[in-house]
Amino acid sequence: MECKHYKQGVPPTKIAGALTWAEAESPDVLLLIVSNFFSNPSKEYLEKYRVNNRPRFRLKTWELVDLEENSKGKPLLLSKYGLAEDFEFLNIIHPAHLEYIKHIQINTLNCLFECFDNLDSLKRDKITGWLWEDIIRPRRRNPVHGGETLADLRIDPINYEIFKQKCYTLQVSSGLSEMFIVSLIVGFLLQAMFGLGDLTTIDQAVARQKDMLDFLEKRKEADPTHGEELEKFKNNFELSMRETPDRMKDGYKIYTYFCENVVSKLLEEKPRI
């Protein structure tokens, strides 16, 4: 066994010895593993070796991408060797969120909407609004011009009360259990709201937006004919980027509000026997 770590691609000279050993010992498989990647000359060398030598053993290679793929779903193994990712978000996830996803929850639509009805109406609409379009499925007219939004094209109204009624109708028409519908609604809302309010990813979100601004700047330089349009879009994007930290902090607040006033109450509902 040889273990070496290379920051750059592993060269052919570092794998020739393993091939010589395999020719002498005739193993069933020779597996070459590198912690980063094989250089292009090494890949060409191995391919020529396969074609010209037709080895009796199987020749396999693993690179970093293979190691990452093979270790997915094995947190204990990764932790053992100090390779586990630091899931920083676990420090801010709400306890009710964790408790809800630990087990299958048995809840009724009546309990869910009793919780929703007791929320501040503005916060309730902000939370449930994520699902209005998909649950209500409003009809839309054809657009007249390109400046119209999806809301402009809506024929049927959408609001909380219609959403509530549609959920009960869905349960009757689909034959799905109340438990299943409630878990779909709550699970989706938890995922959506925590995703937008994950305070541990603020820096990454801002960095991605900076990359987008750089891209827009390069596009503006390369395409002067649309410079004014791109500059306007860039200015709007810069404003959005500056607002991102506060927007994510507000998102975390509404997420915790949902956990404390809806999810926690659902955890208290006693299943009917």
- Mean pLDDT (whole number) for 103-115: 95
Name residues whose C-beta falls within 8 Å of residue 188's C-beta, 6 or more positions apart in sequence: 130, 131
Compute the distance between CA of residue 136 and CA of residue 156 in angstroms, rounded to an integer.
Answer: 9
- The alpha-helical segments, DSSP class H, found in 4-120 are 16-25, 40-53, 64-70, 75-80, 95-102, 109-117
Per the domain annotation, does 5 fall within a domain?
A: no
Which of 171, 132, 175 lies closest to 150 in space, CA to CA?
132
- Indicate whether 166 belongs to any domain: yes
CA separation, residue 58 to residues 5, 31, 50 (Å): 24, 8, 9
Percent of the chain predicted with pLDDT > 90: 50
What would the two tokens of residue 56 be? 């009796």
pLDDT of 67-83, one tens digit each? 878 877 676 677 677 66
Q: Side-chain half-sphere of 243: how many Cα atoms within 13 Å?
A: 9
pLDDT tens per residue across span 143-185: 888 778 888 899 999 999 999 999 999 999 999 999 999 999 9
What value does the mean pLDDT take over residues 230-258?
87
Residues 44 and 111 in one domain: no
How many structural domains are present in the chain? 2
Residues 229 and 116 occupy one common structural domain = yes
DSSP label at residue 14: G
224: confidence class by pLDDT, cuts 50, 70, 90: confident
Q: Are 96 and 263 in contact (CB under 8 A)?
A: yes
- The pLDDT of 215-220, averaged and rounded, is 78
How far, CA to CA in Å, does 53 sit from each of 23, 28, 61?
10, 16, 17
Domain membership of residue 158 as a residue range: 90-268
Angstrom distance (rounded) from CA 23 to CA 10: 21
pTM over 0.85? The answer is no
Return the residue matching tokens 């007219």.
141
Let me know if residue 2 belongs to a domain. Answer: no
Instruction: Return d(Cα 30, Cα 60) in angstroms, integer.
Output: 6
Nearest to 61 by CA among 36, 40, 33: 33
- Do the domain assignments include residue 4? no
Q: How far is it, in rounded angstroms, from Cα 93 to Cα 102?
A: 13
State the pLDDT at residue 87: 74
Q: What is the mean pLDDT of the chain?
A: 87
Residue 261 confidence (pLDDT): 97
Q: Are 32 and 95 members of one domain? A: no
Give the H or E element holding residue 32: strand 29-33
Instruction: Specify the residue for token string 């709550």.
Output: 186
168 and 49 part of one domain? no
Name the token pair of 68.
Answer: 């990452």
Query: Is 46 in the same domain as 173?
Result: no
60 three-class SS: strand
* C-alpha–C-alpha distance, residues 219 and 213, integer Å: 10
**Do 96 and 76 share a structural domain?**
no
Indicate whether 273 belongs to any domain.
no
For residue 3, is it within any domain? no
Q: How far apart are CA 27 and CA 16, in angstroms?
A: 16
5: pLDDT strictly greater than 80: no
Does residue 45 belong to any structural domain of this protein?
yes
Burial class of 54 by CB neighbour count within 10 A (0 to 12, 13 to 18, 19+): exposed
Whether the per-residue pLDDT at 273 is higher than 50: the answer is: no
